[in-house]
Chain A
């Protein structure tokens, strides 16, 4: 029997859509564009994701980023802070980032996140 999906809300604010992928445990999807105002939205969602991952003792979380058109450095900082928290908090789970490598910013920015925590961040091309 499949485990239940993460009990996360779907958030649509400030140009971003963040939410669980139905029926798939530990998998969420980001879409849209994240500007400065989106950083707090992303930060809040990643906090919820972290709490749920710990509560469900997940060993891996996957974020589908293929529909994320762009995030600026404020939103990137929210992801940095989350990855740093996981990396320095006992590394309870790995983070798989599914990208669209045809988007130049995804190639460079996700590589940046992987260099921050190479033992927990996995990059996967769609």
Chain B
């Protein structure tokens, strides 16, 4: 399987940048992971980017809250726009990365927490197996 579609490549590129920044920003130890996975299906295939890092308990709660909100949003772009408006006057941390992945890159975002480790998974669904 090849990712020949430039737009899909660009969307994954955006997601990878945002995920890596999150790991560097919020990771509390040097032990981090970034995985790229292709899953071929008969009619569709999946590309997944997965990061993992340990983080402080408040960061774990915060990322869980954000991803839960993001997944519950019926309109990811409206959610993203609202997040941008509400954070525009706030100096410093953007907190836009995961919402950008969902709204601009159009990718699914999920997370899981085990102990002090958080894993964030971003998935693109592609038609066809080639």
| Residue pair B6, A74 in contact (C-beta under 8 Å) | no
Chain B CB within 8 A of A72 CB: yes
Q: How far is the CA of A108 from the CA of B13 in the complex (A)?
A: 14
Known: A80-B88, A109-B104, A116-B88. A73 touches B10 (CB 8 A): no
Q: How many whole Å from A8's CB to the nearest CB in chain B?
A: 22
Chain A contacts to B: CB under 8 angstroms: 35-36, 39, 70, 72-74, 76-77, 80-81, 83-84, 103-105, 108-109, 112, 115-116
Main SS of the interface on chain B? helix
In the assembled complex, which residues on chain A have CB atoms less than 8 Å from the CB atom of B13?
70, 105
| Residue pair A36, B91 in contact (C-beta under 8 Å) | no
In the assembled complex, which residues on chain B have CB atoms less than 8 Å from the CB atom of A116?
81, 84-85, 88
Q: How far is the CA of A73 from the CA of B97 in the complex (A)?
A: 5
| Residue pair A81, B91 in contact (C-beta under 8 Å) | yes
Q: How far is the CA of A109 from the CA of B80 in the complex (A)?
A: 11
Smallest CB-CB A-B distances: 8 pairs: A77-B94, A104-B10, A84-B88, A108-B104, A73-B96, A73-B97, A104-B7, A72-B17
Q: How many whole Å from A112's CB to the nearest CB in chain B?
A: 7
